[in-house]
Amino acid sequence: MRPARIPIRPSRLGLVHALLLVLGLAGLGHATEPGPTVAQLLSVCDRALAAGSAGPDAAACEWFAAPCACKPRGRDGGALPWCVPDSESIDAVVRQVVTALRLAPSADAPADAAVRDILERLYPCP
């Protein structure tokens, strides 16, 4: 008897693709590979915008441009060093971060550090 096949609906397939893209950009499983550079993140975010801010690129852009406490953190762990007001939407945060990333001095710099600096500057904690 063959095992039952679970159909994958298109919405689930998109989620699977988004997850794979995020994992690929993060370099998870490859300890020597850092996350995306500023240029790579901007490229993903530009593709997301061109696609109507939907799909795998939009998910990856949000994951890196507006990291949340649910994202795996480095050794420092703990609370996020920035405080986004509850009234601020994720889309607004992503837009502001992407705008600031375009002014980054080095496109080859790690996006994680650049995003962290931007978020700390835009949303300082009281």
What does the alpha-carbon distance between residue 114 and residue 53 come to, in Å, rounded to a whole number?
A: 22
Question: Of the given ranges (14-28, 31-45, 109-123), which has the lowest mean pLDDT?
Answer: 14-28
Q: What is the pLDDT of residues 41-77, one digit of tens each?
A: 999 999 999 999 899 999 999 999 998 766 555 555 5
pTM of the predicted structure, to 2 decimals: 0.69
Return the pLDDT at 27.
44
**Cα separations (Å) of 122 from 27, 79, 84, 116?**
27, 17, 9, 10
pLDDT, residue 24, reads: 52
Mean pLDDT score of the chain, rounded to an integer? 78
3-class SS of residue 44 = helix
- Identify the pLDDT of residue 76: 55
The answer to whether the beta carbons of residues 39 and 108 sit under 8 Å apart is yes
Q: Could you report the per-residue pLDDT of 68-114, keeping only the tens digit for each?
A: 766 555 555 567 789 999 899 999 999 999 999 999 889 999 999 99
